[in-house]
Amino acid sequence: MRIYISVDMEGASGVTRWQDVTTAGQDYQRARSWMTADVNAAVAGARRAGATEFVVEENHGVEMLCNLVLDELDPDVDVVRGLPRGGPTTAAALDDSFDAMFLVAHHAKVRDYPGYCAHTISYGEYDDVRLDGRTISEGEIFATIAAQNGVPTALVTGDDVIGAEMAKITPGIEAAVVKRAMSRTGGWIVPPKRAADIITEAAARAVENVRAGTVPVIDVSPPFRMEVDLHKPFSDDARNAFARFPAYELVGDQTVRFEQDEMALAYRMAAVAGPIANGLNVRSY
């Protein structure tokens, strides 16, 4: 059984605030280890239940998406990291060869409160990211990409907010809740060593559920109509930059609208909307 793991950082056990997931924070290096330990715990639980192959893809947008501590990582997993990856920004390795997807250390969506470090794609540049008019999480984006590849989403680890959210979207998913949010930067934390046990047990149940056929591939219906509200109004330079990409439609002062039949491409378009508005080279994303 092959497991694809999308790993982020904001949902890692121990992570409490924005500073923990950026290089300037006093606990950033520790948080890298916490993040890595969460992956190891998920792998251990899945392996105990019969999974045999693992591919871990980094999804945290710091240091060119190179945050896992490789010397601490289970040596039998393969890792996808760095940019660019020749495909959708952080789902390049996800295809129909996998039996299930795990979302490790994921976080609540933008506008969710409470929710540790809640955001979708960018917490500095995006005020909202919507699918068919409703705010969407990165977890749902990944679950949709997985569904289009025939892969069920079986596990999410993070706070209680993302756990409850993914339970509504992906029936049968196991949620390993390692912290309970009281705000975006505070709440009840399970120490990482104890959190590892929670994740391991949930991952084992997730694989057992997949084997039992109780984790369906979610129904998805393209085209995917998406909107991104940027934090800043469009400048003249931003409008000129978007004019080079006719797939985008500018709405009002700060909203970008587009649609795609593949969520992987819609995700990429959402991810690069901010860089386009800021005049950056999107080939590096």
Q: CATH no. for residue 272? A: 3.30.1360
**131-169: pLDDT as tens digits:** 999 999 999 999 999 999 999 999 999 999 999 999 999
**200-240: pLDDT as tens digits:** 999 999 999 999 999 999 999 999 999 999 999 999 999 99
Q: Give yes or no: residues 146 and 263 share one domain.
A: no
Q: Give yes or no: residues 60 and 187 share one domain.
A: yes
Query: What does the block give as tokens for 61?
Result: 């947008």
Q: What is the extent of the structural domain holding 74?
A: 2-212
Q: Give yes or no: residues 236 and 124 share one domain.
A: no
Q: Has residue 9 been placed in a domain?
A: yes
Q: Has residue 236 been placed in a domain?
A: yes
Question: Considering its fold, how many domains does the chain have in total?
Answer: 2
For residue 217, which amino acid is it? V
**Residue finishing a domain among 212, 244, 275:** 212
Separation CA 203–CA 42 (nearest Å): 5
Q: Has residue 219 been placed in a domain?
A: no
Q: Give yes or no: residues 231 and 132 share one domain.
A: no
Q: Is 240 exposed, middle or buried (0-12, 13-18, 19+ CB in 10 A)?
A: exposed
Q: Give yes or no: residues 141 and 171 share one domain.
A: yes
